[in-house]
Amino acid sequence: MEKALLLYSGGLDTSVMVRWIKEKMNMDVVTLTLDIGNSDLEEIKEKALKLGAIDAITLDVKKEFADNYISREIHANGLYGEYPLSTALARPLMAEKAVSVANENDIKFIAHGSTGKGNDQVRFEVSINALDNNIKVIAPVREWNMTRADELEYAKMNNIYVKSDGKYSVDENIWGRSIEGSSIENINEPVNDDAFEWVTPPQYCGSGEPVSIEFYKGLPSSLNGKSMDLLSIIKNLNIIAGRNGIGIINMIESRLIGLKSHEVYECPAASVILKAHKYLENLILNKNELSVKNYIDNFWSNMVYNGLWFDPSMEHMNQFEKSSNQYITGSVNLRLYRGNMILEGIESPYSLYDYNTINYETGVFDQGSSKGFIDIYKNETVRSNRVKKALTVIH
Amino acid sequence: MEKALLLYSGGLDTSVMVRWIKEKMNMDVVTLTLDIGNSDLEEIKEKALKLGAIDAITLDVKKEFADNYISREIHANGLYGEYPLSTALARPLMAEKAVSVANENDIKFIAHGSTGKGNDQVRFEVSINALDNNIKVIAPVREWNMTRADELEYAKMNNIYVKSDGKYSVDENIWGRSIEGSSIENINEPVNDDAFEWVTPPQYCGSGEPVSIEFYKGLPSSLNGKSMDLLSIIKNLNIIAGRNGIGIINMIESRLIGLKSHEVYECPAASVILKAHKYLENLILNKNELSVKNYIDNFWSNMVYNGLWFDPSMEHMNQFEKSSNQYITGSVNLRLYRGNMILEGIESPYSLYDYNTINYETGVFDQGSSKGFIDIYKNETVRSNRVKKALTVIH
Amino acid sequence: MEKALLLYSGGLDTSVMVRWIKEKMNMDVVTLTLDIGNSDLEEIKEKALKLGAIDAITLDVKKEFADNYISREIHANGLYGEYPLSTALARPLMAEKAVSVANENDIKFIAHGSTGKGNDQVRFEVSINALDNNIKVIAPVREWNMTRADELEYAKMNNIYVKSDGKYSVDENIWGRSIEGSSIENINEPVNDDAFEWVTPPQYCGSGEPVSIEFYKGLPSSLNGKSMDLLSIIKNLNIIAGRNGIGIINMIESRLIGLKSHEVYECPAASVILKAHKYLENLILNKNELSVKNYIDNFWSNMVYNGLWFDPSMEHMNQFEKSSNQYITGSVNLRLYRGNMILEGIESPYSLYDYNTINYETGVFDQGSSKGFIDIYKNETVRSNRVKKALTVIH
Amino acid sequence: MEKALLLYSGGLDTSVMVRWIKEKMNMDVVTLTLDIGNSDLEEIKEKALKLGAIDAITLDVKKEFADNYISREIHANGLYGEYPLSTALARPLMAEKAVSVANENDIKFIAHGSTGKGNDQVRFEVSINALDNNIKVIAPVREWNMTRADELEYAKMNNIYVKSDGKYSVDENIWGRSIEGSSIENINEPVNDDAFEWVTPPQYCGSGEPVSIEFYKGLPSSLNGKSMDLLSIIKNLNIIAGRNGIGIINMIESRLIGLKSHEVYECPAASVILKAHKYLENLILNKNELSVKNYIDNFWSNMVYNGLWFDPSMEHMNQFEKSSNQYITGSVNLRLYRGNMILEGIESPYSLYDYNTINYETGVFDQGSSKGFIDIYKNETVRSNRVKKALTVIH
């Protein structure tokens, strides 16, 4: 019998899928569960087997996620609006692992649990086929047209035990937690506090905490004076920043399939790291570098949001980003206080800030040059106004 | 005797200038004082005359500033980084008024108090000469090379009474307050609370307040249900947002003359209005509109930051902005709480958000189309990977 | 019986369609033929009726095409690579007319003859539904899966007389002629001379001709000293430029559906007008205007290529373009010689070129300012190198 | 006595300078002459010594120019408008060599012969100080305010023998020849044939020649079937393309100091190589790569035009360019005929062009997917029109 590799989270949709693929498509199901956040791999594995999977593979890929994916995003100040792309960033890693497991096990079909209305279906399918175009992708949710109630009914009928998923549709990994659905779809109302699990909403926070982050070549290398690998810094910052109200993002978003949606995110570590990294760049890179990097950063972020992580253009941009992060070394002190990240100090051996030049009292800058500068600088604007006004008078 | 029109704020620099221009340049001084924020025009006028100005002209231009300058910035989401360009936006208005007063009074010289290290000298001089290239600009601070101590000494010697300016170098108007100098120049230290006058730092704030802003064609038209003109909305919001910790901006900035500087701003009303306006745009404009508008908004903001308000390109961009704000009508509810602006509801007759399509339970969206979409969409990425991998294997 | 409005060109594909739609879809067919180039409307109408259309509507829309579509492209320097978008520009006009005729005749279906591999299907369908989303679009070629041989067989069987179409697949209108298919698909060979009908290949051209084009507010207003409307200028220039070898374009193109293709175009008038217009812009617009306009021009061109003429972003850009063409008034002399367009003179009342300033002998430009300018201008680059080098030495 | 290193071309300006610097600035002059094109180093050296230089250093840097400068431009499709940046590209190499010679000889001053009106002064000075900010730059032409007649008089008085320079102001190197001044400044007249030395104007050309260029990783590696280094390919192509009328560029240009100028260039090899390279890119890179590369190419070109070769942003962009040229391997056949470059064949192992998919008769492309694609693709445009129209009706 043909086999399908199912990206299995343990939730309602993919649990129903184990049975559904077997029944409707007449295929054996191998599940693949990846720990990118805090999944209980053992429990999920057991459940998969109980549901009838012929094999249940699990992998802890948190470190790979930090080192190969998140690190590149930090270099590129990856943001789609204010959203640090947490879910978008994990999809290509999941595709990468799925293709690799499928190839090792000679499986030709990969199934995922995304709907036909969202971005993730696109991210999965482009990524999987970019890595191996011989693999066929199966997206049952897109085809079965069951509502949530239908699914629950189907689960009951098939003895599929599912812990209640909660009212929201949630995706989470170490880089952030995405929340959508339910009352969040009523955009003329506030978001309920019960949507949040990682971040203490500002009104319930305590008296704040300072954090100090050191960067080496564009990546965090120590937190509050202690050297740690990136994964550990992220884990720690999720807790520290989370309890200080940092990282709630509330977006009206334009999905790549042409729908507007309302999405809420909790990205405490990501928010702090990206903020600190950007402060360092502003200190170390000159205006030309910042200008071109801003364009690349944006393009990079859009590509990731749009599911194009494995496009060849990404490698070209990653080379650019690596080069421009060569000197992003230094430390940033931020006070985290009820949703605010307050700069309390920044320094770098490569800082372009020059106290002696800028200081109003003792400055060594030759102000006389400014006159010549302005005389030339104004040419474009002054001349074009003069010419056009002269003619307007005559005409 | 030749006359100079001095842009006179009543502070130390420009007060010294009244005497200095007369003495060193042998010119009569007419002062021009503009109320763009909360200047006491009468007091400043008196002082100017006492210092020897032959005439002291004063104008309240707050409404003009709101209607002709700030309104265009709101349309263009004007931000340089996170800075709402408050000082940058007022300079061309000051130049406009100065040129107009100079022309009416047959004055050929305009003097300003900006140093040779900052952006404002450029903004004044480009703007003045763009409007009238026959006017000569005088920038005494750039030439006299006095330190602050020298100036105080000069003031004392010349019986110029100056109220202490405070330790910071400050510029303010209804759109924001810019603070630089003194301890702010020590970038490895926190900013002292005494830098802030408009915004209560978050830790001293109360329990928060909701605000509701209605927009009509891209501009605020009512606040908390009451119709008001833009100037009144700004004045009110400066107070409400200020007491809720909104609008402190802390930037490492790249001045247009090639120096890095550390600048702190307080822009409570600007922060709220720009945030609400952007939320509405995200709801009403489609992805194509947002993409091209994002570029124009950025270009527009850079031009204003760089002193090029009167460049002809601005008019072309303003036409674009006017058109793209045609449908930015609707209301935004934000909760202001200790530095946080929390979206609590948004609606617009032109909203592209469609509850019935997006809803996961009842959605009317044909998910089947997504498969065809992805099949085509992935072509670029899949093909280029396939071709390159195939060859890599062979080579 | 339900009615379908068929965009009918008189060629093989759409002729087969008249019969096919009736037979397979059981609908009455009304044909709509638009003269955008040099169609013989009478002959095509007769043919449609003979094939069984219940009505055959014809419209001469050449003037509308010039005044409402081409004019906007000239303002925007519309080019996709080197291709003046001739076919892409006519599709939305065809959609506009089709929707309007359909609405007047209470027809709910519009059929077009484009394949499923090209750009035109997208352009038609987006445009039609942007104008009226209640209309259903029928694209028989995409569904019937007939090859050309099948179609000829079908035509024979159904007594559909079709003049041989020639070996290439051709689309033409007054703004250009697109040629694809047949030997053009062999990209490792030269294009045969028999592909060209409008342009005499350079090796067969005569001794060249001068042309002089006057522009008023960004649009051609007279040719060789004679005032003419835009349509007449285009018609004349197609002949003059065509006989001088101007306007052959040979592109490796990236279709919007993700395929590379080889396309050949003949756009004599378009090439000359766009070249002359760009020369004038370079003379009249300043660097800031050129820089932002370059971005908008590109975005505009991509939108048109991608079938998005009726997207709301186009109106915003058109407002920008109108404003930036306000002063593009003047005349350009070009010598057309065997494929070359040689500038022989340019002038404008709004020219920013200033002989007296630029002239090396008598120049009035104050060269002294350049030193101050460079001192400031170099800051960004010099400082960042200095800082980084200093540290590199130490590290 | 202090020494100055003079970038010495052997022409009038720099010859006068040898004497002038000694006389007016009381410095010893060491000349540095670089062969980047076809300078007669021996003759120029002799002349320098005769004029009183205490030493005359000469270097042949043609190969370095090709390998370290031109190669990067080819990768980046370096063009400012249609100008291949030939002069702009050589200035940083000259600065690099001058700084290196100055350092070796313990010289603290470098003098160049550029005027205060052009771009080259900026390019020299930024580059020199970016490499060594302790060096002082001397620009006598900017200070002495001699006209050409004054210079000739001074030369005569000082027994400086100068071969007539010809009427134009010319700069040349292997990548191109720049011509300005004299009658070229009359922009309402044709350029005289006597301006051209490298390119035979089209009307005097012969019957054309085919060229075949092979590229390996983005750089030309063989010409007409013969492997050659880049320098040899350029030298050969200058002759071949030159005699076929290729490479005359006629620009209305916006100098970086805010003046419009009229410049004429002859760049035969550059025009052919850049055209062929771009054709290959269009064949090999996908739409995402082309889109982001287009931005970087433009930014790169502007930086070089604006004298910022040694800015750190260039290294980041060079990394991007290197990566995106990784697969630009293949061959391009062009027919050069009287100013036309006609594509006659292109191939690459990495080509994304797929005959079997694109072919209209046998195509394997699934046209059915297009319907789903368009259904999703049109969403943005259709929805925004629908919403806005609905409201417009109501309002």
D193 is catalytic: no
Which chain B residue is nearest to residue A256, measuring alpha carbons?
A: B287
Long-range CB contacts (within 8 A, 24+) of A46-49: A47/A10, A47/A15, A47/A161, A48/A8, A48/A10, A48/A18
Average pLDDT over every residue of A193-214: 97
Tokens 């009304």, residue located: C30
Assess if residue C215 is contained within a domain.
Answer: yes
pLDDT of residue B158: 86
Confidence of residue C386 (pLDDT cuts 50, 70, 90): confident
Assess if residue D321 is contained within a domain.
Answer: no
A255 is catalytic: no
Q: For residue B366, is pLDDT > 80?
A: no
pLDDT of residue D357: 81
Compare CB distances from B374 to A125, A340, A388 and report the shortest one's residue. A125
Which chain A residue is nearest to residue C351, measuring alpha carbons?
A: A387
pLDDT of residue D237: 98
CATH of the domain at B337: 3.90.1260.10
Q: For residue B31, is pLDDT > 80?
A: yes
Cα(A229)–Cα(A214) distance, integer angstroms: 12
Q: Are strands C28-35 and C3-7 parallel, antiparallel or unpaired?
A: parallel
Contact between residue B11 and residue B113 where contact means Cβ atoms under 8 Å apart: yes
Compare CB distances from B288 to D286, D371, D380 and report the shortest one's residue. D380
Question: Which pLDDT tens digit goes with each residue over D42-88?
Answer: 999 999 999 999 999 999 999 999 999 999 999 999 999 999 999 99
Q: How many CB atoms lie within 10 A of CB A294?
A: 13
Q: Do D260 and C359 touch (CB under 8 A)?
A: no
Assess if residue B312 is contained within a domain.
Answer: no
Query: What residues of B are in contact with residue C322 (Cβ under 8 Å)?
Result: 319
Selecting among D55, D67, D71, D169, the annotated active-site residue is D169
Q: Do B371 and D373 touch (CB under 8 A)?
A: no
Q: For residue C393, is pLDDT > 60?
A: no
Selecting among C39, C114, C120, C348, the annotated active-site residue is C120
Confidence of residue C165 (pLDDT cuts 50, 70, 90): low
pLDDT of residue A342: 98
B91 is catalytic: yes
Q: For residue C342, is pLDDT > 80?
A: yes
Confidence of residue B392 (pLDDT cuts 50, 70, 90): low
Cα(C113)–Cα(B258) distance, integer angstroms: 58
Closest CA–CA distance from residue C168 to any residue of chain B (Å): 26
Cα(C248)–Cα(C268) distance, integer angstroms: 7
Compare CB distances from C313 to B289, B319, B379 and report the shortest one's residue. B289
Average pLDDT over every residue of B39-66: 96
Percent of chain D scored above 70 by pLDDT?
96
Closest CA–CA distance from residue D232 to any residue of chain C (Å): 26
Compare CB distances from D116 to C126, C133, C367 and report the shortest one's residue. C367
Sequence-distant (≥ 6) Cβ neighbours of residue C192 within 8 angstroms: C183
Confidence of residue A393 (pLDDT cuts 50, 70, 90): low
Query: What residues of A are in contact with residue B340 (Cβ under 8 Å)?
Result: 202, 245, 338-340
Annotated binding site of D: 7-15, 83, 113, 115, 119-120, 123, 169, 178, 253, 265
Query: What residues of C are in contact with residue B378 (Cβ under 8 Å)?
Result: 258
Question: For residue C132, which of D389, B324, A259 has the smallest C-alpha distance?
Answer: D389
* Lowest pLDDT segment from C160-164, C206-210, D260-264, D269-273: C160-164
Question: Which pLDDT tens digit goes with each residue over B271-293?
Answer: 999 999 999 999 999 999 999 99
Same domain, A27 and A155: yes
Same domain, B176 and B157: no
Q: Do A288 and D303 touch (CB under 8 A)?
A: yes
Q: Output the CA angle A311-A316-A321, nearest 5 degrees.
A: 115
Cα(A191)–Cα(C37) distance, integer angstroms: 57
- Cβ burial, residue C285 (10 Å; 0-12/13-18/19+): buried
Cα(C75)–Cα(C326) distance, integer angstroms: 10
Confidence of residue D164 (pLDDT cuts 50, 70, 90): low
Question: Which pLDDT tens digit goes with each residue over C178-224?
Answer: 999 999 999 999 999 999 999 999 999 999 999 999 999 999 999 99
Please tell me which residue, B26 or D143, carries the higher pLDDT value: B26
Assess if residue D299 is contained within a domain.
Answer: no
Last residue of a domain, one of C123, C142, C165: C165
Assess if residue C211 is contained within a domain.
Answer: yes
Q: For residue C360, is pLDDT > 70?
A: no
Cα(D129)–Cα(D124) distance, integer angstroms: 9
Closest CA–CA distance from residue C308 to any residue of chain B (Å): 9
Q: For residue C356, is pLDDT > 60?
A: yes
Same domain, A101 and A14: yes
Instruction: Find the chain D residues whose C-beta atoms sit closer than 8 A to any C-beta of A.
Output: 254, 257-259, 285-286, 288-289, 291-293, 295-296, 299, 303, 308, 311-313, 315-317, 319-320, 322-324, 376-380, 383
Compare CB distances from C378 to D125, D359, D368 and report the shortest one's residue. D125
Compare CB distances from D117 to C81, C169, C367 and report the shortest one's residue. C367
Which chain C residue is nearest to residue D133, measuring alpha carbons?
A: C382
Same domain, A55 and A127: yes
For chain B, what is the mean pLDDT? 94
Same domain, C37 and C152: yes
Cα(B66)–Cα(A192) distance, integer angstroms: 36
Q: For residue B162, is pLDDT > 80?
A: no
Average pLDDT over every residue of A155-172: 84
Which chain A residue is nearest to residue C288, measuring alpha carbons?
A: A380
Assess if residue B315 is contained within a domain.
Answer: no
Confidence of residue A8 (pLDDT cuts 50, 70, 90): very high
Question: For residue A27, which of A115, A117, A136, A121 has the smallest C-alpha distance?
Answer: A136
Q: How many CB atoms lie within 10 A of CB B144?
A: 16
| Angstrom distances, CA of residue D141 to CA of B166, C368, C370, D152 | 48, 10, 12, 13
Q: For residue C159, is pLDDT > 60?
A: yes
Contact between residue D4 and residue D21 where contact means Cβ atoms under 8 Å apart: yes
Question: Which pLDDT tens digit goes with each residue over B211-251?
Answer: 999 999 999 999 999 999 999 999 999 999 999 999 999 99
Same domain, C142 and C229: no
Chains that touch D (3 or more CB pairs under 8 A): A, B, C
Sequence-distant (≥ 6) Cβ neighbours of residue D23 within 8 angstroms: none
Confidence of residue A145 (pLDDT cuts 50, 70, 90): confident
Token duo for residue A238: 């999720």
Contact between residue C332 and residue C215 where contact means Cβ atoms under 8 Å apart: yes
Same domain, B270 and B341: yes
Same domain, B117 and B178: no
Cα(B170)–Cα(B154) distance, integer angstroms: 21
Is C105 marked as a binding-site residue? no
Question: For residue C80, which of C354, C304, C327, C369 has the smallest C-alpha distance?
Answer: C304
Selecting among D39, D72, D86, D91, the annotated active-site residue is D91
* Lowest pLDDT segment from C222-236, C292-306, C346-360, D53-67: C346-360
C35 is catalytic: no
How many DSSP H helices and E strands does chain D contain? Answer: 15, 14
Sequence-distant (≥ 6) Cβ neighbours of residue C101 within 8 angstroms: C5, C32, C57, C107
Token duo for residue A198: 């990682």
For chain C, what is the mean pLDDT? 94
pLDDT of residue B143: 84
Please tell me which residue, D131 or B167, carries the higher pLDDT value: D131
Assess if residue D198 is contained within a domain.
Answer: yes
Query: What does D191-228 look like in DSSP terms, one character per residue?
Result: PPGGG-SSS--GGG--S-EEEEEEEETTEEEEETTEE-
Task: Give how many domains chain C has, as a whole number.
Answer: 3
Average pLDDT over every residue of A119-130: 96
Q: Do B383 and D354 touch (CB under 8 A)?
A: yes
pLDDT of residue C394: 53
Which chain D residue is nearest to residue B377, measuring alpha carbons?
A: D373
Selecting among B55, B71, B165, B169, the annotated active-site residue is B169
Q: How many CB atoms lie within 10 A of CB A58?
A: 18
Selecting among A169, A182, A331, A351, the annotated active-site residue is A169
Q: For residue A163, is pLDDT > 80?
A: no
Compare CB distances from A378 to B129, B148, B344 and report the shortest one's residue. B129
Q: For residue C364, is pLDDT > 80?
A: no
Q: Do B359 and A308 touch (CB under 8 A)?
A: no
Same domain, C130 and C263: no
Terminal CA-to-CA distance of chain B, rounded, Å?
A: 84
Same domain, C275 and C243: yes
Same domain, C114 and C191: no
Cα atoms in the Cβ-side hemisphere of radius 13 Å centred on C382: 21
Confidence of residue B374 (pLDDT cuts 50, 70, 90): very high
Confidence of residue B161 (pLDDT cuts 50, 70, 90): confident
Cα(B184)–Cα(B197) distance, integer angstroms: 15
pLDDT of residue C233: 98
Mutate to test the interface with C, among A387, A392, A393 (most CBs of C within 10 A): A387
Which chain C residue is nearest to residue B254, measuring alpha carbons?
A: C380
Query: What residues of B are in contact with residue C284 (Cβ under 8 Å)?
Result: none
Q: Do A252 and B279 touch (CB under 8 A)?
A: yes
Q: For residue C151, is pLDDT > 90?
A: no
Same domain, C45 and C190: no
Cα(A57)–Cα(A107) distance, integer angstroms: 13
CATH of the domain at D48: 3.40.50.620
pLDDT of residue A318: 98
Closest CA–CA distance from residue D56 to any residue of chain A (Å): 34
The 3-state secondary structure of chain B, one letter per residue = CCEEEEECCCCHHHHHHHHHHHHHHCCEEEEEEEECCCCCHHHHHHHHHHCCCCEEEEEECHHHHHHHHHHHHHHCCCCECCECCHHHHHHHHHHHHHHHHHHHCCCCEEECCCCCCCCHHHHHHHHHHHHCCCCEEECHHHHHCCCHHHHHHHHHHCCCCCCCCCCCEEEEECCEEEEECHHHHCCCCCCCHHHCCCCCCHHHCCCCEEEEEEEECCEEEEECCEECCHHHHHHHHHHHHHCCCCCEEEEEEECCCCCEEEEEEECHHHHHHHHHHHHHHHHHCCHHHHHHHHHHHHHHHHHHHCCCCCCHHHHHHHHHHHHHCCCCCEEEEEEEECCEEEEEEEECCCCCCCHHHHCCCCCCCCCHHHHHHHHHHCHHHHHHHHHHHHHHHHC
For chain A, what is the mean pLDDT? 94
Assess if residue C315 is contained within a domain.
Answer: no
Range of the domain at C383: 358-394
Token duo for residue A386: 């003069």
Last residue of a domain, one of A135, A165, A195: A165
Q: Do B386 and A351 touch (CB under 8 A)?
A: no
Is A381 marked as a binding-site residue? no
Q: Output the CA angle C12-C16-C22, nearest 5 degrees.
A: 160
Which chain D residue is nearest to residue A376, measuring alpha carbons?
A: D257
Question: For residue D33, which of D6, D8, D70 has the smallest C-alpha distance?
Answer: D8
For chain D, what is the mean pLDDT? 94
Q: Do C311 and B288 touch (CB under 8 A)?
A: yes
Annotated binding site of D for ATP: 7-15, 113
Q: Strand, helix or coil at A223?
A: strand
Last residue of a domain, one of B165, B185, B205: B165
Percent of chain B scored above 70 by pLDDT?
96
Percent of chain A scored above 90 by pLDDT?
83
| Angstrom distances, CA of residue C393 to CA of C386, C387, D106, D126 | 11, 10, 20, 22
Cα(C224)–Cα(C276) distance, integer angstroms: 13
Question: Which pLDDT tens digit goes with each residue over A279-322?
Answer: 999 999 999 999 999 999 999 999 999 999 999 999 999 999 99
